[in-house]
Chains A and B, each alone.
Chain A
Amino acid sequence: MQASDRFNINSQLEHLQAKHVGTGHADLNRFEWAVNIQRDSYASYVGHYPILAYFAIAENESIGRERYNFMQKMLLPCGLPPEREDD
């Protein structure tokens, strides 16, 4: 950790990660980041009712179904994580 980090929010990276799940770090890989992006996106869709309504019309589904689908997709948004070579 750098000396400069002592003063700002990044000084407690662990704490930060715990508090804001979507924050990242230098060792984050493509898959993990993408998962965060997907979850954030679905959370955002579910959170903004007008967007949800828009999707519902576009897909010809009920709003409730759309919401349910999005929530379900948040479980494994990108499928199973790829096998890691290093460990």
Chain B
Amino acid sequence: MASTDSEIANTQEERKKMEQQLASLTSVTFDVDLYGGGSDTRFDGYERSIAVNEDDDVPDAGESEVARKLASYTAPKSVLKEMPRGVGEDDNGGDLGGFKKPQKIIDREDDYRRRRLNRMISPDRNDAFAMGDKTPDVSVRTYADVMKEEALKREKEETLREIAKKKKEEEELKGQGGAERGSRDDGAAAAAQSQKRRNRWDQNQELDGGAKKAKTLSAAASSDWDMPDSTPGIGRWDATPTPGRAADATPSISRRNRWDETPTPGRVADADATPAAGGVTPGATPSGMTWDATPKLAGTATPTPKRQRSRWDETPATMGSATPMPGATPAAAYTPGVTPVGGVDMATPTPGAINLRGAITPEQYNLLRWEKDIEERNRPLTDEELDAMFPQEGYKILDPPASYVPIRTPARKLLATPTPLGTPLYQIPEENRGQQFDVPKEAPGGLPFMKPEDYQYFGALLNEDEEEKLTPEEQKERKIMKLLLKVKNGTPPQRKTALRQLTDKAREFGAGPLFNRILPLLMQPTLEDQERHLLVKVIDRVLYKLDELVRPFVHKILVVIEPLLIDEDYYARVEGREIISNLSKAAGLATMIAAMRPDIDNIDEYVRNTTARAFSVVASALGIPALLPFLKAVCQSKKSWQARHTGIKIVQQIAILIGCAVLPHLRSLVEIIEHGLNDENQKVRTITALSLAALAEASAPYGIESFDSVLKPLWKGIRSHRGKVLAAFLKAIGFIIPLMDAIYASYYTKEVMFILIREFQSPDEEMKKIVLKVVKQCVSTEGVEADYIRSDILPEFFRNFWVRRMALDRRNYKQLVETTVEIANKVGVADIVGRIVEDLKDESEPYRRMVMETIEKVVANLGASDIDARLEELLIDGILYAFQEQTSDDANVMLNGFGAVVNSLGQRVKPYLPQICGTIKWRLNNKSAKVRQQAADLISRIAVIMTQCHEEQLMGHLGVVLYEYLGEEYPEVLGSILGALKAIVNVIGMTKMTPPIKDLLPRLTPILKNRHEKVQENCIDLVGRIADRGAEFVPAREWMRICFELLEMLKAHKKGIRRATVNTFGYIAKAIGPQDVLATLLNNLKVQERQNRVCTTVAIAIVAETCSPFTVLPALMNEYRVPELNVQNGVLKSLSFLFEYIGEMGKDYIYAVTPLLEDALMDRDLVHRQTAASAVKHMALGVAGLGCEDALVHLLNYVWPNIFETSPHVINAVMEAIEGMRVALGPALVLNYCLQGLFHPARKVREVYWKIYNSLYIGAQDALVAAYPILEDEENNIFRRPELAMFI
């Protein structure tokens, strides 16, 4: 829904633009100065469109309500309303009633990933293994053929590049010569050009009068014409070849927009040229396409062949016949009301036109579907509809004025309003509203719904009449298609059976027909995630079955699966890896290499990239050693640098994919790629360094000896390289240094450091990040001394990196903070903090935040003992300043920093506390809610330190202040205030608290009603804390009142709140005795709401645990006599929880509750038996080994008959009870219960008994040996176990 709305919004936008353009057309005819500006002001203040659903524009009633009554401290209604929502629902903007809208893969792909669609599913290849010694047939494609083709392709590409280069050179030459000549015949050329570019528009303008043109030229500032680039539509008019502006007529590079583009034949030729995949999504509105499709108008400079003449150029006379006007389309193929858009610019591939011209692509279909939706809404009203709308009386139908003549000449029509008042050729088609045009033909034979996109693939299924005439081959194909369609679009059960059939019959169907059907589906541009997942699953299953039959299709499969490896979705990547791994296991290494070798030096970087990734998967599936010889050969390829590049990239990907598992092969991998550091090609050198970095990262902290051979070239390389290569080399060094021994690390760090310091100044962002990272890695290694860092690195480091600009980019920011913290770990707090503390008062807020975050981390890591008095003063001063000056702090950096510094300074902050508290008090009174909230949060962070500084009086004062702010209306702030109060109460204790607890608690009772989570959580924590420590300060009556409020809180969404509530019940019960609390809770068992009852039972169990079970059990068991299902179940559940909580204390109560459980286990109600069984389980587990076997055996006798229950929860509870009995009574006893049914004549019985036997066996296999029954020998089988009868 939401996306449709946004589409509609887009169209409206588009239309508005068009109207503006047309309006500017109007201003051609009317003098702008006289008639007002180009934009039509007549309609200002009117709604231009009517919202589809009315509530869109009505301001949210809830919000205004909030504005009116904010006096109370409940959460705003708007918050309450949206509270019970799941997480992540609003992430995707518009959700369809809680469901995520299926998303097309192509919509989230970038251009690079979309290049997958450029790849072809190559024809089958020869399977050398299947052939044996035979020479392959000429018609099959062998490895040699493929390699030859690749070579040809490469050669072609190279030749083309050469040609282009040569042309360019020639042009440059010519350009130099031409410049001189150009000045001479400038005037002539301009004239000639103006001749050439003349089109209808020019004539039009000339007809309209040259006077206007002159006016335009005389730089009338108010005119639209001279405004550069205001809208593209207007900009193109600059091309008008007016004599004075001849220079402008040549489209200069800087002004190039898409209007200037030379029309490519395919684009303009006609509408059925399929739009490039994804290029035209439904979002791209038809009008947008129109303008795209008529670059003729814009780039008039190029004379185009006749066939491409835009329809704009055609004379009105030919229009009716030559162009497929909507009116001319058969009415049946199209909806009523033809779009106004379609009427105005005929070049739009109007749906009618599409229909006329044959096969419809999915994109076009979407376009059509969507356009139709719009048209439905904008359809002209019929007389009947008008009649229905207006009252019959009081209105009169007027005749049109006699002077009214509908505009009939299309040329003029363009200049008139853009509304489609109707062309003479247009007739309102006969309405047949019962007919549904976009409902596809019903799929026959129980097949699932077929999407229009699917017709291309599954269309054949629709005509089932000639089924009998099909050959067996075709029938097989048909069967596959049916199954695939079921997998793709069917319901889950359909899908499941279809998938199973496909798997089972895979070999029967054969690899060819299967993959020929599946793989094209995966290349479908409109594929959705779910569909792709299903199809990939099909491939996976089929692969498993087909095994070596898959060989000829390996490359085909790779073409569609490889793109998954670079998908942004993690699960897609994993899926892709799994398939390729299975594929390589099925096809074998030789086939995999043969299939992928030609792609290694493909001309397309995309292909090489994905191939490298796929190879790494093959390596991890079949083992690196198997692949090593091949990799070695590829990396040393003399033929093309691409092959070397890809080979080295494979090594990189292997390292990334398998991590520390590269260690056994590290030396060989390094040896394979090391020569790449000196390669003649820069790209190869870069990727080599990156691969080394990946290898070192994967093998850390081991394996330095394998890198010995590359140290020299790397360190030499950093002196000779610049730019990207240098960055890659530095990265490799950064990862290798941490592997080294201390002495070497120190030496090599010094070697690299001067280059690093030089690169500190690099303006390149990527270089900056790498340099920072390398500095971090170097600094953190053992051998690098603090003194060296202090003297050699720090000055330059701070000069270059601690600048405001670094704070603006998120990744720079993070990297810089990390590196600085790492340096601080070496050189100490004082050095680092001393250098940046002044910057806490910097004027740039992001920079201050970065400083604060660094200080926070440094201080939290290393403490504040190094900070001297002077620095301490500066620090507190700076922090106070930064804290007060912050305008936005979503990540709570300032707050955390403040807390960290104060906490690490400890008692040393005492002198500053009055000042800090002053700030807090002032900020608590601030107008902005955020500020108040932060002030309160700060209190809770520094409360502990304040007591350490013996500032109890100050805290008491803060307590009173906070108490006064309990009327806070913003729930977030109120939550923080409660949190601050809690922190104060925690540290100064109940007795010393001001305001006194007896005043504070009654004030909290109403706040418990608040439904905001943060408020609830903090409030219940505070109340619980008071109930725990200071219950005696509050009268019992108040506690009872709180008990009632707490019952409501048992419904909270957040588990933490429910848990705190339940615990609070325990504290209160302890404080005022369990009787009253219990009565409240038992009453609550009668409520309808399940969640509430469950929590109540937990609370009862907690009360029993805190006040000893004997205080609760009598009342609880008494409650079981209430003849009400919910209550009895509640009691049983309480018992279950109770025995779970009290554990072995249960041995004293087991005999007391046994009669009750007996009754429950015999009850007709399933839930009784289920809950009682789970109570028995907990009881049995609690008292195992404590001598209650008699009671347990008795209970087991009641539990046992329930083993034949089928309801899942009941049978689970029963089985668990039996498991509990196994623990408490021993497996032998349960086995004896079991034996009676293992060979029962009824299968149903046997099944259940074997199930019990199995869980018994899994639980205590060894213990059963002694308890197995004695089996008699048969004639030739020995079943006895005489060993057990031995004794000495």
A interface residue numbers (CB < 8 A to B):
2-10, 16, 20, 22-26, 28, 30-31, 33-34, 37-38, 40-41, 44-45, 47, 54-55, 57-59, 77-80, 82
Contact = CB atoms under 8 A, between A and B. Distances in A.
Contacts of A16: 1254, 1258
A32 B1288 CA distance: 32
Interface in B471-530: none
Interface stretch (B281-289, B540-548, B627-635, B1206-1214): B1206-1214
Interface in B200-216: none
Interface in B542-568: none
Nearest to B1207: A4
Contact of B1277 (A25, A59, A82): A82
Contacts of B1276: 79-80, 82
B1250 interface: yes
Interface in B1269-1288: 1271, 1274, 1276-1279, 1281, 1283-1284, 1286-1288
Interface in B1232-1252: 1238-1239, 1243, 1246-1247, 1250-1251
A20 B1257 contact: yes
Contacts of B1206: 2-4
Contact of A23 (B1258, B1265, B1274, B1278): B1258
For this complex, into which size category does the number of interface residues on chain B fall? Answer: 35 or more
B217 interface: no
A30 B1271 contact: yes
A24 B580 CA distance: 37
6 contacts: A7-B1212, A10-B1254, A16-B1254, A24-B1254, A41-B1283, A44-B1265
Given A24-B1253, A26-B1243, A44-B1265, A59 B1281 contact: no
Contacts of B1274: 82
B1287 A41 contact: no
A42 to B, nearest CB: 9
A34 B1212 contact: no
Nearest to B1263: A44
B1250 A26 contact: yes
Interface in B1253-1270: 1253-1255, 1257-1258, 1261-1262, 1264-1265, 1268
Contacts of B696: none
Nearest to B1242: A26
Contact of A40 (B1211, B1254, B1265): B1265
Contacts of B1243: 26
A20 to B, nearest CB: 6
Contacts of B1265: 37, 40-41, 44
B1257 A22 contact: yes
B1254 A23 contact: yes
B1082 interface: no
By Cβ-Cβ distance, the 6 closest A-B pairs, closest first, are A4-B1208, A26-B1246, A4-B1211, A44-B1265, A23-B1254, A58-B1286
Contact of B1283 (A5, A22, A55, A78): A55
Given A41-B1284, A82-B1276, 7 more contacts: A3-B1208, A7-B1212, A9-B1254, A40-B1268, A54-B1288, A79-B1276, A82-B1274
B1216 to A, nearest CB: 9
Nearest to A10: B1251
A59 B1286 contact: yes
Contact of B1287 (A8, A40, A58): A58
Majority SS at the chain A contact face: helix
B1215 interface: yes
B1268 A37 contact: yes
Interface string B677-702: 00000000000000000000000000
Nearest to A37: B1268
Nearest to B1271: A34
Nearest to B1279: A34
A44 B1258 CA distance: 15
B492 to A, nearest CB: 14
Contacts of B1281: 37-38, 41
Contacts of B1264: 40
Contacts of B1205: 4
Contacts of B1278: 77-79
A24 B1250 contact: yes
A11 to B, nearest CB: 11
A73 to B, nearest CB: 9
Interface centre among A24, A25, A26, A55 (most CB of B within 10 A): A26
Interface string B1200-1228: 00000111101110010000000000000
Nearest to B1285: A58
A78 B1279 contact: yes
A37 B1261 CA distance: 10
A15 B1215 CA distance: 20
Contacts of A57: 1288
A77 B1246 CA distance: 25
B1257 A23 contact: yes
A44 B1262 contact: yes
Contacts of B1210: 4
Contact of A28 (B1250, B1258, B1284, B1286): B1250
B1258 A9 contact: yes
B1215 A8 contact: yes
Nearest to B1258: A20
B76 to A, nearest CB: 42
Given A20-B1257, A23-B1257, A79-B1278, A45 B1250 contact: no
B1212 A4 contact: yes
A16 to B, nearest CB: 7
A1 to B, nearest CB: 9
Contacts of B1262: 40, 44, 47
A44 B1215 CA distance: 26
Contacts of A6: 1208
Contacts of B1238: 24, 33
A77 B1279 CA distance: 8
Contacts of A44: 1262, 1265
A45 B1284 CA distance: 10
Nearest to A13: B1254
A7 B1208 contact: yes
A40 B1239 CA distance: 20
A79 B1277 contact: yes
A80 B1276 CA distance: 8
A55 B1205 CA distance: 45
A32 to B, nearest CB: 11
Nearest to A33: B1238
A37 B1271 CA distance: 10
B1071 to A, nearest CB: 41
Nearest to B1254: A23
A15 to B, nearest CB: 12
Contacts of B1247: 25-26
B1273 to A, nearest CB: 9
A26 B1251 CA distance: 9
A22 B1288 contact: no
Contacts of B1250: 24-26, 28
A48 B739 CA distance: 47
A56 B1286 CA distance: 11
B544 to A, nearest CB: 16
Contact of A41 (B1255, B1257, B1258, B1268): B1268
B1170 to A, nearest CB: 12
A39 to B, nearest CB: 10
B1139 to A, nearest CB: 22
B770 to A, nearest CB: 48
A78 B1264 CA distance: 19
A49 to B, nearest CB: 14
A48 B1024 CA distance: 54
A9 B1259 CA distance: 12
Contacts of A41: 1265, 1268, 1281, 1283-1284
A5 B1251 CA distance: 10
Nearest to A19: B1258
A10 B1208 CA distance: 12
A26 B1244 CA distance: 8
